[in-house]
Structure 1
Amino acid sequence: MSFKKKIFKFSISQKILAFIGYLYILFVCYTSKIQIINSELPEKLWRENKPFILAFWHGQLMMIGHVWKSKAVLNMLASSHSDGRFGAYIAGHFNLKNVSIMSKNKSPSLRKVFKILKDRNYIGITPDGPRGPNKKVSEGIIKIAIHSQVPIIPLGFASNKNLKLKSWDSFLITYPFSKCRFVWGEPITIPSSTKDDDLDKYKNFLEEKINDCMESAEKNLNA
């Protein structure tokens, strides 16, 4: 194990690095021009106290705290891996809460997810996480939407000054003094009668809608 990985294993190291990351994100938000398109879509559900599932790509996690304008907490589904814990420490500084969906036997505990939604709370999912493939929707989010009958709202983000890491998710680090844009998509409700044979259809549909939001966010950003 490398020295960097050994250091990263320790909780105190993760907390210190997470706080530095939090300060950096605040600086980016403070110095950047940030535009939010279609904000009325989530705002309507927030006002009506109706839960929804926020869906965006894993590589766009960095700036997600800025777009969440509700006083209600966004519960981000995360793995119990060290990367997930690190994300939880950063999320804790915003109005976000990381929720581990791994039970003691290391199988996904969907009961916890359904309880959150039943209590009219909000969930955020990176449908290509936690390990990819990049920008490919897994069936988990589709099954959650079917069984909970809670809509999915896609979200895209873009910035004109950034670094894309050479990681599986091409993680986007936005620089200070950037032009940034978030684009919310229309809510997607998947019928409760959906069969397993139709899962791929809805996976592809959600993938297309998230990418549409990304393309809209990127359009004329440098103009």
Structure 2
Amino acid sequence: MKKYFKTNILPYILYFLVKFIYFTNKKVFHHSKISSDESFIFVAWHGDLLAQPTNYFKFRPNGTVKAMISHNKDGEIIAKIYALLGTGLIRGSSSKGAAKALISTIKEIKAGSDVALTPDGPRGPRFSVAPGVVAIAQKSNAKIIVLNSKPSKYWQFSSWDKFILPKPFGKIDFYLSQPFSIEGLELEEAKELIKDKMMAHSMP
């Protein structure tokens, strides 16, 4: 019964909670002007996951984006919430189903979809950049765009990712960076560049 609740009922409760939270907050979008219709890799920290469908669909109201979500218990809940929010799914992570997920992600980019990744997911450590995002970007030749959000009022969980849940009736600043390329960079150089870009508007 507990498992049924977590996988079949809880995601719907959280979905309506998320919709309520973002409806009641003033939203301010700090988006770079990007005219290109090419496919991008959107990256966000694991603790900032819930805000990013709102952020992405403001940028591309009719866009198609597929998010890589892990197969663990938390991943199942996030996957269902993301699906309800209009985001497609790629199942897998850097620790489970990695090769299959990497190939699927590159295929989605080549087919014209945007993809969304959490470089420090699914297990951290927080604010780390796994090699997978570098491999996907370099093999697909896709540019990377960073997504961040900063709520004025929020709850912060004690989980490894310090998960952020905005409180209702505040203000949320959404950030979307200019696209950047990591073509030709060595692995550590690429990881450092991605982290530097992602930390620019990160929550503490």
Q: TM-score, normalised by structure 1?
A: 0.83
Who is 1:201 aligned against? Answer: 189
Who is 2:23 aligned against? Answer: 30
Could you tell me how far 1:169 is from its partner in structure 2? 0.2
Distance 2:122 2:48 in 1: 13
Distance 2:136 2:155 in 1: 33
Who is 2:179 aligned against? Answer: 187
The answer to whether the 8 Å contact 1:87/1:98 transfers is no
Could you tell me how far 1:13 is from its partner in structure 2? 3.5
Q: Which has the higher contact order (CA 8 A, sep 6+)?
A: 2
Q: Deviations over 1:34-65 (max 9, x none)?
A: 11102523xx23xx2x1000011000011212
Who is 1:151 aligned against? Answer: 143
- The gaps in structure 1 that reach 5 residues or longer are 1-5, 219-223
Could you tell me how far 1:66 is from its partner in structure 2? 1.0
Aligned pairs (5 A) from 1:1-223: 7=2, 9-10=3-4, 13-41=6-34, 44-45=35-36, 48=37, 50-69=38-57, 70=60, 71-101=62-92, 106-109=97-100, 110-191=102-183, 193-194=184-185, 198-214=186-202
Structure 1 residue identity aligned to 2:15: Y
Q: Secondary structure at the match of 2:175?
A: strand
Mark the structure with the bigger radius of gyration: 1
Could you tell me how far 1:107 is from its partner in structure 2? 4.2
Aligned residues: 198
Q: Secondary structure at the match of 2:161?
A: coil
Q: Secondary structure at the match of 1:111?
A: helix
Q: Deviations over 1:143-193 (max 9, x none)?
A: 1101110001011111011011000000001110011011111111121x4
Structure 1 residue identity aligned to 2:197: K
- RMSD, aligned α-carbons: 1.8
Could you tell me how far 1:92 is from its partner in structure 2? 1.3
Q: Secondary structure at the match of 1:108?
A: helix
The answer to whether the 8 Å contact 1:184/1:213 transfers is no
Distance 1:85 1:29 in 2: 22
In structure 2, relative to structure 1, the CA distance for the partners of 1:118 and 1:93 (3 Å cut) is same
The answer to whether the 8 Å contact 1:65/1:96 transfers is yes
Structure 2 residue identity aligned to 1:79: S
Instruction: Choose 84-93 or 12-21, whichever is displaced more.
Output: 12-21
Q: TM-score, normalised by structure 2?
A: 0.90
The answer to whether the 8 Å contact 1:18/1:86 transfers is yes
How much identity, in percent, do the aligned residues show? 27
Could you tell me how far 1:214 is from its partner in structure 2? 2.7
The answer to whether the 8 Å contact 1:34/1:181 transfers is yes
